[in-house]
Structure formats: structure tokens, C-alpha cells
Amino acid sequence: MVDELLEKIGSLTLVQAAELVKKMEEKFGISAAAPVAVAAVAAPAAAAAAEAVEEKTEFTVVFESFSGDKKVDAIKKVREITNLPLMDAKKLVEEGNGVLKEGVSKEEAEKIKKELEAIGAKIVLK
């Protein structure tokens, strides 16, 4: 049963994984330190703690929210970055709080952040 559950979680899209985290937080009264924790089931917590101590070389780009008039441009950019289907990219832009890219260099993370913030998105680097 546990293996089946892990298989199903592994097949979720980023938007679905973020929604799963949100619902788990509500149901169990917990707070995930990073929405990536459920999406990246294979990443052990100890490795994440070790990375926090060292200077970060890899970043996670999180799409927090969008408040602009260039929604179509934001959806196109999200699709370009994530390769998500159109509906998933649209849902991510409208609802926010989703991981765009994981394990990217500081330069790439900053570039993505700058491009999306220029069209009205709020981006967080973790």
C-alpha cells in the first residue's frame, strides 16, 4: 500500500503536488517548510538540512502569486520554464504557491525571478 501511494505521489504534476501539500497542512495542522518536500519525495530531510548549513548553490524557484495585466505572458513564461500543460500553467498562475524549478543555479534562479517579476509575478527563491 505504501509503495502504491509513493507511485501515485511521484506521478503528480507540480500543481497537484502543491495542492496535496496544502490539503495535508490543513488536515493535519502542520506546516511544510518548503512545498517541494512532498513533490520531491526522494529528497531526504537530512540532505536539506545539510544544504542549509552550506552556502546554497542550488535554488528552488517558487511562484507565489500574480497580480498584473499580463496574465497571458505569465502563463506562457511558466509553460516555457516548467513544460507544464496549458491548463496546469494557467492554474499555477491563477492560484500561485507552486514550484517552477528545482535545483537551479543562483544565476538561473535570479534570471527566472527577474523575468517573471517584470510581468507582475511574485517569486521566492528557496
Residue pLDDT, tens place only, 37-88? 444 444 455 455 555 555 678 899 999 988 878 889 999 998 998 888 999 9
Model pLDDT, residue 47: 52
Please name the CATH architecture into which domain 2-125 falls.
2-Layer Sandwich (3.30)
Query: Cα–Cα distances in Å, from 108 out to 57, 59, 105, 125?
Result: 11, 9, 5, 11
Residue pLDDT, tens place only, 10-26? 777 777 777 877 788 77
Q: What's the longest Cα–Cα distance across the chain?
A: 46
Spatial distance between the Cα atoms of 11 and 51, rounded to a whole number of angstroms? 26
Model pLDDT, residue 39: 47
- Supply the mean pLDDT for the chain: 79
Spatial distance between the Cα atoms of 25 and 97, rounded to a whole number of angstroms? 14
* Predicted confidence band of residue 111 (pLDDT cuts 50, 70, 90): very high
